[in-house]
Amino acid sequence: MKDVELHQLLQGNHRALLLVIDALPFPIYYKDLACKYLGCNKAYEEYVGLSRKQIIGKDVFELFEKGAAAIFAASDTELLANPGIQIYEAPVIKPDGQMLYVKFHKATFCNEYGEVAGLIGAIIDITEQKTLEKKFKRLATYDDLTGIYNRREGRKQLKQLCKDAVRHKRPISAILLDLDNFKVINDTYGHDTGDMVLKKAAQSLDRYSRAHDFVCRYGGEEFMIILPETNKQDAVKIGERYLDELRKLEIQITNDEKLKITASIGVGELDAEFTDRELMLKQADEALYRAKANGKNQVCF
């Protein structure tokens, strides 16, 4: 349909157009150059919780709360100033308080003289899609058991932080921390208790880390902590603090029994002469092995 024909239909509130758009399941509306509603379909009536009679002739500030109305008005004004097609996503709060995430598809239409005469828009509810996207993003980023970052995100952050450290010629260190005797805990008390230990340990590490540090579950009972702006001497001190905090934990096993845990730590450093992050991790892993071999419950570099 040509813009002129569409304008004639909109201008005359043509019954055929209303029958067509009323059959569509998603909200459709159209406005004049003053951004006042010329009409809408039944789905839009349901969407805003008002009748067509209450909508026509009004602007968004008369139908929606101030914050949302300002966003809608700005996008309408931009579209009319730059005629064509406009597509964007936005969170919206319906008049009944329900929060939705929607995609707007809008376009201008012209009169018989080829002048822009208004706009028509459709709203697609993508709330479920966004919810799934957030869920998948969380699964890709966070460890499901402990709630802290997972190995994949840890490797991603390590790459970026090491690049930044090399670029700015700043120190960066990494800690590999492994809970001591974890297999014994699992075999003695069961996997539910083992899971509880992992959660408590993760929470402790996350709670006592500095704001710019990065903590992740690296695998099994092993955690990686990235320490930007930190040389090996300071990293060892931080590692000792983590061990102290873990030693303070008392995990309730039964009404009468509490479990104490310890960990072993290896430290690696990236500096001006040692700029390979994989070698830094290898260094930390070898130091962790020495900490285990030397009796556990200690930090090695």
The residues that are catalytic are 221
What pLDDT digit, counting tens, does each position of 238-264 carry?
Answer: 999 999 999 999 888 877 888 999 999
Q: What is the CATH T-level fold of the domain 3-131, as seen in this structure?
A: Beta-Lactamase (3.30.450)
Q: What DSSP element (H or E) covers 72?
A: helix 66-81
Query: What percent of the chain is predicted at pLDDT more than 90?
Result: 64
In 3D space, the residue among 217, 200, 87, 201 whose CA is nearest the CA of residue 144 turns out to be: 217
Residue type, 278: E
- Comparing C-alpha atoms, which of 268, 256, 275, 168 is closest to residue 218? 268
Residue 8 banded pLDDT, cuts 50, 70, 90:
low
> Strand 37-40 and strand 28-32: pairing?
antiparallel
pLDDT in tens, 118-142: 999 999 999 888 888 888 877 789 9
Per-residue pLDDT band at 270 (split at 50, 70, 90): confident
At 105, list the tokens.
């598809």
The CATH number of 142-300 is 3.30.70.270
d(CA 276, CA 194): 34
pLDDT at 3: 43
Query: Residue 120 has what pLDDT?
Result: 93
pLDDT of residue 273: 61
Fold match between 3-131 and 142-300?
Answer: no
Asked if 121 and 79 count as a contact pair (C-beta separation under 8 A), the reply is no
Mean pLDDT of 278-294: 93
Residue ranges of the domains in the chain? Answer: 3-131, 142-300
Is residue 86 over pLDDT 60? yes
pLDDT one-digit tens code per residue, 10-66: 555 556 666 778 888 899 999 999 999 998 999 999 988 899 999 999 999 998 888
Dig out the tokens for 71 from the structure.
């966003």
Six-digit token string for 122 = 């459709």
